[in-house]
Structure 1
Amino acid sequence: MRIPEEEAAAATQMTSELAFLLAVVTSLQLHLAVDALGSASTVAMAYGTATVCGITAGNQNQRIQCYKGNEVISILPHVSFEAISGGKSFFCGLRTGGHSLHCWETNAGFSNHSFRPKRIYYSTRFPLTDLAVGDAQVCAREVGSGRGRCWRGLDKGGSLFPSPDAALEFQTITSGSGFSCGILKNNRSVWCWGSNGIGSKIQSQFRNLSMVSLVAGKSHVCGLTASGGALVCKGNNGAGQLEVPPNSAHEYSALALGASFTCGLRQKNGVVSCWGGGAEELNIQNTSNGSVSFELITAGSSMLCGLKTSNLTIMCWFKANKYSPAVLPLGMIIPGPCVQDPCSLCGVYPNSAFLCDGSGNICKSCQEELPFAVLLPKNPKSSPKKARNGLTVAFLIVGAIGGLAGACTILFCISNCLAASDHQELNINPSSGRSFSLTELAAATSNFSSENKIGAGSFGVVYKGELSDGTEVAIKRGETKSNEKQNAFSSELAALLRLNHKHLVGMVGYCPENDERLLVYEYMPNGSLHDHLHNKDYEVTVLNTWKMRIKIALDAARGIEYLHNYAVPPIIHRDIKSSNILLDRNFTAKVSDFGFSMMRHPEASTESAVGGTIGYIDPEYYVSKISTAKSDVYGLGIVLLEILTGKKAVFRDGGGEGVVTVAEFAVARIGGGEVWNVVDKRVRAAEMKEVEAVEMVACTAVQCVNLEGEERPSITDIVGNLEKALALCNSGELCDRL
């Protein structure tokens, strides 16, 4: 039997090992979320020539597109890249898989000739990651060994840039002007090297700090400490770029550093925040005004670019154009590399299948999903008090991991029990809906023929069918090979079996036979609101009056109000969009598709995997992963703007702004009193009694898409406003404005 000292020592050692594992996982998570002058990203710039590049979305190949001098050019259009990084007058790209590294000069004329690639690395045995371009050097890290490798950039007059000692193993590297730094795997200390004295100075300033992330600017470096997650910056402080705001621990999800400024993305809402003289010159704070949310940011010496959450387009601040940031015409850019491997830690980025065009998934950045771990002393001979504390911490950590494993086991069992059970084992009440056989539903859809396909939902394809009694139905056939699809099926089934409202699509029955998962709904012959607003095959004459459009908006709002306030327990839909608002024979609107829904109290915050559709996702929900009823309100606000303007949630603006969201197009104009400059011209001119109604709807929509959830109205308030607006259309009765 062990004596207490041995037991305490063992507990201390176990706690240290567990804490180290948690810290390693956390460091991997946080590293995914940082971008800077010398770090790998999907957006990069050669700041000396004002060239901005991004890896495009929605294409079979994740090719690079660049913007310079009002021109756009595709780089190797048939080659896929996973990361890019830029220096002073060139940028480099790491091909998918990390086996090949290419670089391009940008200081010559902007033409195909000047953008011929120069391959500086190729190996099938030693793939690279962490591409980190400095002013004139290119560095990367070998995937297996952690060894740092460096090369001279494309400037012909540059000196040879050294690689670090081959015996050093790094967990991440980053590059600045004439120096590069990395975090060592063994003790998480900072190690710098280069051709000038800046690197050694920065290394000495970090001294005994253990770091989990590191980002370089031109002559300074910032990162998060392993103990406490504090944000620290070292190096040149000529313009106040090291003066980190107080209470900044865990505040930022991403960093980007220039020559004389430091910027971070706030975890709560994705809004950019900067400090240092260079940020004041760029006028970043005033021109952003906290109204735009970003997925990532990256910096050059005197410029900053960010990838907007709303439509994944690039917005940049240039020193020469400080009064209005530019939205570049590069189209949608992927927010992370498309990978074939499963996303094990924090799930898949929304709409990955579309963004990667079927070539993989984009893994979501975890930010700070796990707590920062503090390594305990390795001295086995602790005092009795310390031993008890060590045991307590050990038990807490083991208990937390055990609890997490238990929760995962329970969720896994629920999901797989659903996939393997029939309707009796699912506790389905037969009175809630009819149980169909697979044979019946196959016959109703001509064996699920492509001619009967009418759409797709959150977990499968939707077919039109006709039952043996002549009843027309819509049959959703689930693809249940993944846990995500099974969860969508169970979520939708559980929700629909308890719901009954005239503005929710009704459920006729279900079929959980063998490995099949099918849901049977009432058929909605007039399609979706999205079809009537945006599909050229539909006649807009049905929606050519403001009265009809406002009625449809009110119908949808009443359906959501039922979910939030009257369902037991209440439900958050989480995917409100115009294609999920369907129209019956009488053009009564009904909310459909509950695959992403969550049964929670609407005002209770719930952390979850982000679901939804680009253009409709609440920016606050996407950043925080906290789901509330106000996320549905945001989606409804986008739908209201679609109804008002006739524009899609995300569309290409003919005015030269590239891809924009309907919120970006309409909100500022409506706020400036230009409602009638943005309304859909296909709707016949508003009658006198309709003018105030339309303006009331516009004002409601603007409030719904506020970046801060607390500032949005409740669904009950929205229903009240739309009822007033419809009353105005019906009778001209005057009522109070919002």
Structure 2
Amino acid sequence: MREFSASALAVIATLTALIGPANPTGSSSTLAIAHGSATVCGVVAGTSNSFIQCATASASSSSPFLVSPNASFSSISAGRDSICGLRAGGTSFLCWNLTASSSTAPPARRVYEGSAALEELSVGEVHIAALDRNRTFIEWWRSDGRFPSNISGSYHSLASGRDFSCALISNGSLRCWGPRGGEIEADFADSTMSTIAAGDSHVCGIDTVGRLICGGNNDAGQSTPPSSPAFEFGALALGEKHSCAVRNSNGTVICWGGAAGIEYTPANATSFVLVVAGGNLTCGLATANFSVLCWGTNRSSLTATLPLPRILPGICTSNQSSCLCGLFPDSETLCSGSRVICNRCDGRIQPSTPPHLSSPPSPLPPPRPPTSSKRTTNRRWLAFAIVGSIGAFSGICSILYCIWFGVCRQKKVHNSVQPTIAAPRTSASYAPHSSAIAVRTSPSTSPSGSRSRTFWRQGSRIMRRQRSGPSSFKERPEEFSFSDLAAATKNFSSETKIGAGSFGTVYKGKLPDGRQVAIKRSESGPRAKKFQEKEGAFESELAFLSRLHHKHLVGLVGYCEEREERLLVYEYMKNGALYDHLHPKNEDSSSSSSSVLNSWKMRIKVLLDAARGIEYLHNYAVPPIIHRDIKSSNILLDANWLARVSDFGLSLLGPESGDGHFSMKAAGTVGYMDPEYYGMHLLTVKSDVYGLGVVMLEVLTGKRAIFKDEESGNPTSIVDHAVPFIVAGEINKVLDLRVGQPGPNEVEAVELLAYTAVHCVTPEGKNRPSMTDIVANLESAVSLLLDGSRGSVSSACMSCPSTD
């Protein structure tokens, strides 16, 4: 083993980062080949969700297809029969089986999900390896005992082939694992490497003085690289019996080995920003337009230009300080947000200090604990100890009280929920994957220039709230005759029609005793749903609403069940649906600009009401209930502008555990549906959280969940439109003009709402907040507005109820 001085090791570490990653099939990249089916996949550029799209290179007329979920991925890697994608944030990766050519997306399998963020993902022939973001360990999956489960150490440049994985340690030495690892490692015993790439059974890399070196199997000349000047080559791509490298000077590719067994330049003189290989196939991403070109090993024959959209030319990072050779042109647009792509250096530039490790982006930067003097800190710890002691004593007393009155007296306990007072949370650290939300504005300042506060769940501003009505039990709903309800609605005339719900039309009616009600009648006629579906929706809603009683859920008055007629009778909500106020039919009318809801105070208050209703369904109904169709048209407003959640036709009883899930066919409304639910058929209570997050973005922007983009004319998701601006700290660019920019006392409340919404629409359910957290944040936002307007009454809402 060679001996190196500390300064030499620093130079090696610097060169390693500067040369940039190779992009072999077995390493992290934005383009990958599953060579068993000749399927080529890439991470699509220019979209807020960096989703994956694939095409088959062997088919004469291949059609591209998406893989589910349509969520954000930072990088991908592929082996023989599968492709794996590392999620943005690095805390999970999914894999798709591609054993045969396919024109449809195969089902996804979640292989890893944990607290440790991964950075480099490497898929071999059948096994998977990954390196953590801090570069302290490597872990293997699907290794069948041929690899260690994990190994500790400082590694980089992870690459895998058939029956081996290799990586470099800090002094540039190569380490390999697996049945073939020993023979490959021996070929690099005297080399100090900066980066490596793996093929089927051989490895090539660039050493610290810029020379191209290969080792391992050489039966087709794949390990005999061309002689070249130092630092001539950058990115590498290795297949089964061939190798390719990109020239630093002009981006052209040279390959060697393969069927021809000699050096050749494929694709004429096309310039490529990266290349990948698998089996006998090589694909490159053209520098000119980021299109994907693929070719075989019979010298220069070009297989195809694949029908894929623009693919990212590099992995997007939020750490611009790692870009020591500058940014890739237009990288912010390609990454669609505040992230960028770094230029790949050729290895000859040696900065004075080593670069920082880059990290994948997260939806929001973690909050910093407030700074304070040592004396203040000691006082706070003393106060914390005192409050904690009192809290512990109170808890013990509460337990003894419950035992005495609940067990000893054998008093019957109903599933009603009593009002609670939340204890303050005093945490000085941030746990990114805890159930609590920590939200703040942009990394520096709010849009108005003020420094944003950090809000912790159940913080000092938590208010006392009534979670439910007097009881979760209620009297049996009244049964009506069909003739009575027909008379109440003027025989269901069009003039009494006020809306539609799941499997039915809603009419306004007046009962003989003078009560105004809303009557939902199941559809009938040739266009009606199957009777079984109609019956199921009717029975579901009747069953749920008969036992639920909460002031933020629409109350059920009664029902009618005669022959094939199924009707439900609800309390009448005088002020209609939230959707109608946000998106009036005549958007230019003066009434739309003078709506009571065109104030930030009222809009946030309505969201808080709705969140409390959903929180009751998730946490306090027994068993819990998943609504499955949370949207602005299902949030209704009564005469006092109190918001209530409605339409339980699609609702299901949830699992007893909050972490449980169902696997079932997706149902709901496009634009509001959880990506994990419609993509992977994974239904949890967090699916409702996603829907509420979309409603929050509607309230902020005034735009529909799916709207037509003014510039392109294409349908656009409100999530794709609003989230990048919010994360970038440019909330003012997406706010609804009818409400206008928030005033001095409203800025922090609106920012808190915006960042809570971003957390709610995170693609992965496990990273979304619970409804309890959401309610706490919205309560904090409302309390900020109350603090700013205390002593005054809003002229826009003289008769509105209290927010308490």
Report the TM-score, using the length of structure 2 for normalisation. Answer: 0.42
Report the TM-score, using the length of structure 1 for normalisation. Answer: 0.46
Q: Which has the higher helix share?
A: 1
